[in-house]
Amino acid sequence: MSSFQIQLQHYEGPLDLLLDLIRKQQINIYDIPIAKITSQYLSYMDQAMAMDIELSSEFVYMAATLIHIKSKLLLPRDPELEKIMPEEDPRQELVDRLLEHERFKGAAQMLEQKRQIEEAIWTNPQVDRLLGEDQDPGLAVTLFDLVKTLEAVLDRAKNRPIYEITGEEVTVPEMIQQLRNVFDQVATGDHFSAREMFERQKSRRAMICLFLAILEMVKRQALNLVQDEIFGEIVLARSESFAEAFPKEADLEAVEQEYK
């Protein structure tokens, strides 16, 4: 058993617990010592049960997954067979899930900070008088709403086949270019459903890259997030400054460097 002391606290899910164990011990996420992490993970579950802390079935499933990965790593591999058919690292799928979860946590923290800043900003209530009577700014849509839309699509995607294209590397800059191509052909104010755009993607990776591409386009004020009614569907609309958002090809190259 590892001497690492687990601080018994509430985690939203098993991936949060694993990330906490990995980061606190400064473990390379691409080279996880499964035996050590499994031991600490099971220790946390034992302590939680001893204190009558109810754990969801996800924690039990992850424990079984870790034990399964550990057993696969312990099995001897025929060197000759390895030359003919190299076996993928049994930890790879877990690493991919942890990285994806960490990206979502980072995005959620960023959005929470943005919300706190927006709540702390004082706005002049008389600003509405500056708008013409015929102008309809629509409902304010936050990035939290967009995250909820993506989460809903990902939840529904669990019940339908997601086709992962072997060898296809979807990137955020490619998604930005696709969005530019789509909105290049429409007029200012024209819009598309964010949910439908997410659902058209063939993999979870593509959905996440599209989400990050939308954030980049909104940040550059190329696109607006619009909602016609409370709890209504979120749409992406071309803004008036769309053409100025990427004035030079070098701008897109800078984005590519940022997301490499």
Condensed to tens digits (0 to 9), the pLDDT of residues 11-21 reads: 778 888 898 88
pLDDT of the residue at 33: 92
pLDDT of the residue at 146: 73
The answer to whether residues 170 and 224 belong to one domain is yes
The answer to whether residues 114 and 174 belong to one domain is no
Give the CATH number for residue 152. 1.10.10.580
Q: How far, CA to CA in Å, does 214 sit from each of 173, 194, 209, 254, 258?
A: 11, 9, 9, 16, 15
Residue 253 binned pLDDT confidence (cut-offs 50, 70, 90): low
Choosing from 122, 152, 186, the residue where a domain stops is 122
How many C-beta neighbours within 10 Å does residue 46 have? 11
The answer to whether residues 138 and 201 belong to one domain is yes
Burial 120-145 (b: 16+ CB within 10 A, else e): eeeeeeeeeeeeeeeeeeeeebebeb
The answer to whether residues 253 and 134 belong to one domain is yes
SS3 content of the chain, % helix, strand, coil (to 5): 60, 5, 35
Condensed to tens digits (0 to 9), the pLDDT of residues 203-247 reads: 888 888 888 888 888 888 888 888 766 666 788 888 888 888 765
Domain span holding position 164: 130-258
The answer to whether residues 37 and 55 belong to one domain is yes
Tally of domains within the chain: 2
Q: Could you tell me the two tokens for 118?
A: 């927006």
pLDDT of the residue at 151: 75
The answer to whether residues 134 and 24 belong to one domain is no
Residue 174 burial by Cβ neighbours in a 10 Å radius (0-12, 13-18, 19+): middle
Condensed to tens digits (0 to 9), the pLDDT of residues 155-172 reads: 776 665 554 444 456 788
Cβ-proximal residues to 61 (8 Å cutoff; 6+ apart), any chain = 14
The answer to whether residues 243 and 145 belong to one domain is yes
Pick left, alpha or beta for residue 242 (phi over 0 → left; psi -120 to 50 → alpha; otherwise beta). Answer: alpha
The answer to whether residues 24 and 68 belong to one domain is yes
pLDDT of the residue at 36: 92
Choosing from 53, 87, 122, the residue where a domain stops is 122
Choosing from 104, 122, 140, the residue where a domain stops is 122
pLDDT of the residue at 116: 64
The answer to whether residues 135 and 36 belong to one domain is no
Residue 101 burial by Cβ neighbours in a 10 Å radius (0-12, 13-18, 19+): middle
Which residues share a beta bridge with 223? 238
The answer to whether residues 114 and 139 belong to one domain is no
In angstroms, the CA 134 to CA 130 distance is 12
The answer to whether residues 63 and 176 belong to one domain is no
pLDDT of the residue at 179: 87
Residue 137 has pLDDT above 60, yes or no: no
The answer to whether residues 3 and 116 belong to one domain is yes
Residue 257 binned pLDDT confidence (cut-offs 50, 70, 90): low
Q: What are phi and psi of 45, to 5 degrees?
A: -65, -40
Residue 14 burial by Cβ neighbours in a 10 Å radius (0-12, 13-18, 19+): buried
252 vs 215, higher pLDDT: 215
Residue 259 has pLDDT above 70, yes or no: no
pLDDT of the residue at 67: 92
Lowest mean pLDDT among 70-74, 107-111, 127-131, 246-250: 127-131
